[in-house]
Chains A and B, each alone.
Chain A
Amino acid sequence: KQEVTQIPAALSVPEGENLVLNCSFTDSAIYNLQWFRQDPGKGLTSLLLIQSSQREQTSGRLNASLDKSSGRSTLYIAASQPGDSATYLCSGAGSYQLTFGKGTKLSVIP
């Protein structure tokens, strides 16, 4: 059974700082790794998807990496902004379904 862990559970940083969110998974036989953002009271919004054959993906100030051999993924956010404040979730994808971590709640302080 796939288990996904995200550390830390919460993170507070000053505006402008670069930061890294961590995700680890127990079953390296994932098909892809997805990162999502969730704002309070809202659904999830997809940020990045990394196929199992890829090492990283980038979108704007976001960069996600995947190391299947160690069971780890990181989400790097450059030059953080208050609008980045949200909960970030990662998920490991089996053939059809995704298993989610509990998320990291990020607060960016102006």
Chain B
Amino acid sequence: NAGVTQTPKFRVLKTGQSMTLLCAQDMNHEYMYWYRQDPGMGLRLIHYSVGEGTTAKGEVPDGYNVSRLKKQNFLLGLESAAPSQTSVYFCASSYPLFSGQGFFGANVLTFGAGSRLTVL
């Protein structure tokens, strides 16, 4: 099992260029997430998806778009990259947690190894 795979692992862009980060999971998870991690800011949620064909905004969605056309893939797009988008991006996946007492949110998240993006 590969788990969660992110491509590319590294990328350097010039301001104004566009690119797409691909996240693929082979665990049949319903939920998928894109986070960015910056020094001193921690992990912040950009967008997430609770199923194929659905997406929702997280804490810091501006400047990003996402698509989930297939259950196993979650794409993060930057239409016009800015230096403020220099960061490490993490994709994660999960599924609903149910127990005898009901629903308990997203189950354990599985993270990808990260994609380091630099915008000059």
Q: Could you tell me which A residues sit within 8 Å of B by CB distance?
A: 30-32, 34, 36, 41-46, 49, 51-53, 89, 91, 93-103
Q: Could you tell me which B residues sit within 8 Å of A by CB distance?
A: 31, 33, 35, 40-45, 48, 50, 56, 58-59, 90, 92, 97, 99, 101, 103-114
* Cβ–Cβ contact A53 & B101, under 8 A: yes
In the complex with contacts A51-B97, A102-B40, A97-B114 CB distance below 8 A? no
Report the separation of the CA atoms of residues A99 and B50 in the bound assembly, to the nearest whole angstrom: 16
Report the separation of the CA atoms of residues A97 and B107 in the bound assembly, to the nearest whole angstrom: 10
Contact of A100 among B31, B42, B101 (CB under 8 A): B42
Q: Is the interface of B mostly helix, strand, loop or mixed?
A: strand
* Cβ–Cβ contact A46 & B108, under 8 A: yes
Could you name 25 residue pairs across A and B whose Cβ atoms are closer than 8 Å?
A30-B105, A32-B104, A43-B111, A44-B43, A46-B108, A49-B97, A49-B107, A49-B108, A51-B97, A51-B101, A51-B104, A53-B99, A93-B104, A94-B105, A95-B103, A96-B31, A96-B105, A96-B106, A97-B33, A97-B45, A97-B58, A97-B106, A98-B109, A99-B45, A102-B41
Report the separation of the CA atoms of residues A8 and B42 in the bound assembly, to the nearest whole angstrom: 14
